[in-house]
Amino acid sequence: MPWWSWILIWVALVSLSLLFFVLMGVRLFRQFMATVKELGEAGDKLTRLPVPATASAGAMEAAPDSDVIGVAPGTAPFASPHQMRHDYHASKEARREARRQRRVRRKAERGQPQSLRDIEFR
């Protein structure tokens, strides 16, 4: 094998390795930019959280007939345990009642008989 063939082989190997590194760099840069974009969108979502004064007003407007008061995110550690327990049980009961009403409505639409526990005697 002549001496210049070794030079061609090494030039080809070096150029292919450089091409590989450039392509991997472009791929890594694109992934990095996609991650930065997602982090920016997540930051925008976090900055749009309601402040505590408007959160409770918004919760009261959304459900005026319920006695559950909305608590702003992040205020639970500073609230009294009694208040948090009351809020937990009140929201649990509200969810249970909403499920019961959906079940009654669904059975009425389908023409199915109602369960005795779903009939409201209050």
Give residue limits of the domains in the chain. Answer: 1-48, 65-110
Q: Residue 74's pLDDT is what?
A: 76
Q: Residue 117's pLDDT is what?
A: 80
Task: Determine contact, residues 17/31, Cβ cutoff 8 Å.
Answer: no
Q: Residue 30's pLDDT is what?
A: 98
Q: Residue 51's pLDDT is what?
A: 62
Q: Residue 1's pLDDT is what?
A: 84
Task: Give the separation between CA 47 and CA 42, rounded to whole angstroms.
Answer: 9
103 Cβ contact partners less than 8 Å away, ≥ 6 residues apart: 115, 118
pTM over 0.95: no
Which DSSP state fits 76? G
Q: Residue 122's pLDDT is what?
A: 53
Average pLDDT per consecutive 10 residues, the chain (122 residues; last block may be shorter): 92 98 98 96 84 50 50 79 92 94 92 84 58
Q: Residue 70's pLDDT is what?
A: 61
Q: Residue 62's pLDDT is what?
A: 47
Query: Residue 102 is encoded by which pair of tokens?
Result: 């959906």
Task: Give the separation between CA 61 and CA 53, rounded to whole angstroms.
Answer: 13
Q: Residue 59's pLDDT is what?
A: 47
